[in-house]
Amino acid sequence: MSDRFLEHRTALVTGSTSGIGLAIACGLAAAGAKIAVNGLGTPEQIDDALRAVREAGAADARHFGADLRDPEQIETMMAQIAEWSAVDILVNNAGIQHAVPLADMPTQKWNDILAINLSAAFHTMRLAMPGMAERGYGRVINIASVHGLVASVNKAPYVASKFGIVGLSKVAGLEYAALGSRESGGITVNCICPGWVETALIEPQIQARRDGGSREDGVRALVSEKQPSGRMSLPEDIAAMATWLCRRESHNITGASFPIDGGWTAQ
């Protein structure tokens, strides 16, 4: 029997129409939460995401659209969600990437990546966290990256945004640490920092490295340079960590960054 410990809680997961975000939304739904889905996609893709979340066990699920580069659209979205149900759990998962050398990085790409990966999290946090403080329970889970802990070439704005969200999470964690109680669950702010994760986005990279071998050969070739485990995580692995961080027992875990990286950052 599943543990419905998030019944009567509401979660907003940005970038949750696919990939890691959708897996997290489904994980929280299985624990009983109402889910505010946010993300891009065709009407059919959005409907599929909502269906998956409902089938996972969500008490209710709705899609809320916003261009996360635009603070005004974020404010409108947050007001609409608050009208529906106050946000107890905020997962900032939406992110974009563009990999070219620093000198070749288009200025607009820098602006867009910083806006979506970092500034959008600031705006959702500043709007959601005061209500969490009033209720004595809140969870902010920012999906950073292994690149919030170590750098790689050709990823200047991505790395800058992920280092930034780790720092932002530490500050917010400190500011809200004493609010709430052990009984109410408190307010915590943490980062999850995935390494390689199996999503549709990286499937072409896996196939390109098979060199006539199996898909597993392609995975090992892709991760071998960075990830000592030689295997990727699944989106559901990230979801399991996010769901655990929402438990009342995690009330004293805040300002932390959890690498799920097969030993990448241990080197």
Q: Which amino acids are annotated catalytic?
A: 158
Helices H, strands E: what count in the chain?
9, 7
Q: Can you name the residues that pair with 63 across neighbouring β-strands?
A: 37
The DSSP annotation for 197-235 comes to: B--GGGHHHHHHT-TTS-HHHHHHHHHTTT-TT-SPBPH
> Of the candidates 227, 236, 204, 190, which has an alpha carbon nearest to the alpha carbon of residue 19?
236
In sequence order, which residues have a C-beta less than 8 Å from that of residue 152 and are 6 or more positions away?
Answer: 159
**Cα four-point dihedral sign 14, 16, 19, 25:** positive
> Are the beta carbons of 169 and 140 closer than 8 angstroms?
yes
